Amino acid sequence: MKGKIALLDNFEGKEAAALLIDGKLHDFFTEPGMKAPGAIFRVKVKHQLKGSGGVFVESPDGDFFLHQTSSITPGKFILVQVTSYGDSEKLPRVSTKILFKSRYVIVTPFADGLNIAKSIQDIDRKSQLKQLVTEEFEHIPYGMILRSACALASDNEIIDDCRNMISAAQNVLSDEHNQIGLVYRAQSPHQMAWREWSDIPSVDKRNGAFSDYGVLELIDELKDPKVIINNSNYYIESTKAFVAIDVNTGGDMSFAAGLKANLAMAKDLPRQLRLRGLGGQVVIDPAPMSRQNRNTLENAIKSSLRRDTIETNFVGWTSMGLIELQRARIRPNWLTL
């Protein structure tokens, strides 16, 4: 199957969304859970964790870790937003820098100004968008970022989305009760699909769409640590400390086999990490290649990561020739749930 299609269905009895591009699974959202990134809680500050630069905060739904100590005192009630998933031994991380993200706009209550996504480079379109918002709202109460989807959206779609997000922010921030707990839920998989997949020409909302398009088989492939690509392969294995990537040349015995295998991995790796819900520290053991090809591989990895929707930093090379990445934990590792 050629082209892009979004499928809104259910997986294992829970709401889910899949994005197929040319028959390949490109993205997948499953039920995020109460403490998913984007959820906002009112919490009570407990105590500082010495040496960590952060504090524990509590809610009826469990504790979180806030990497901040300035203006934070024990016993204080504050609003925080979940920024990363936790696990059985690590608490989810939260931030006091709350934002409300939708398809066309991000409302930033604690950062003033109206900004346009850098990906919108048409000067006339940027000017039109700024004029649209400033004329529609006599007073813009919060900072706002108009997202790349605004480039081709109608004025009504943009304004409606702005109103909805401003209203959501006002409802959360104007609640002065000190009762701790969840005050704003993370978006559902179908809402996330609408928010993030803005350039999809076709959407199938039928029950059973996953089965009809072979999504269930594509999901099963993700359970295998071995990824076969071209004539090479690489393994993705998650440990408690980090995600390990091992690249192999397969049956290719040519002089350039190592570089070819590494470049193929570099192009495919962000998709695999995204689909498997893997983040944190990532360590790559490349296939053998000449040291002079390191810059080529490094540039290929950085280019691939820039096109990904999840923030990932290229940390560097180790003395043993391994590559280190640091990736945000904003997707659930649903394969282990």
Residue type, 224: D
Q: How far is CA 179 from CA 41, 59, 60, 71, 303, in A?
A: 10, 9, 10, 20, 46
pLDDT for residue 69: 73
pTM of the entire structure?
0.90
DSSP-assigned letter for residue 176: -
Closest of 12, 22, 13, 30 to residue 213, by C-alpha: 22
pLDDT for residue 273: 96
pLDDT for residue 151: 94
Which 3 state secondary structure label does DSSP give 185? coil
pLDDT for residue 32: 80
DSSP 281-302: EEEEEPPS--GGGHHHHHHHHH
pLDDT for residue 315: 97
Contact between 42 and 94 under an 8 Å Cβ cutoff? The reply is no
What residues form DSSP beta bridges with 248? 233
| Chain Cα centroid distance, residue 77 | 28
pLDDT for residue 335: 66
pLDDT for residue 89: 78
User: What residues contact 228, with CB distance under 8 A and at least 6 apart?
Assistant: 250
pLDDT for residue 160: 97
Looking up tokens 């050629």 gives 2
Which stretches of 152-282 are DSSP H helices? 155-173, 189-196, 209-212, 215-222, 257-276
pLDDT for residue 1: 72
- Tokens for 156, please give them: 């009504």
pLDDT for residue 251: 78
Looking up tokens 């700024």 gives 130
Closest of 10, 53, 30 to residue 211, by C-alpha: 10
Count Cα atoms within 13 angstroms, Cβ side, for 137: 20
Please list the rounded mean pLDDT of every run of 10 residues in the chain (337 residues).
92 94 95 90 86 86 87 88 86 94 96 93 95 91 95 96 96 82 95 93 94 95 92 92 93 85 96 94 96 96 95 96 96 73
Phi, psi dihedrals of residue 294, rounded to the nearest 5°: -60, -40
* Domains of the chain: residue spans and CATH: 40-95 (2.40.50.140), 100-186 (3.30.230), 224-336 (3.40.630)
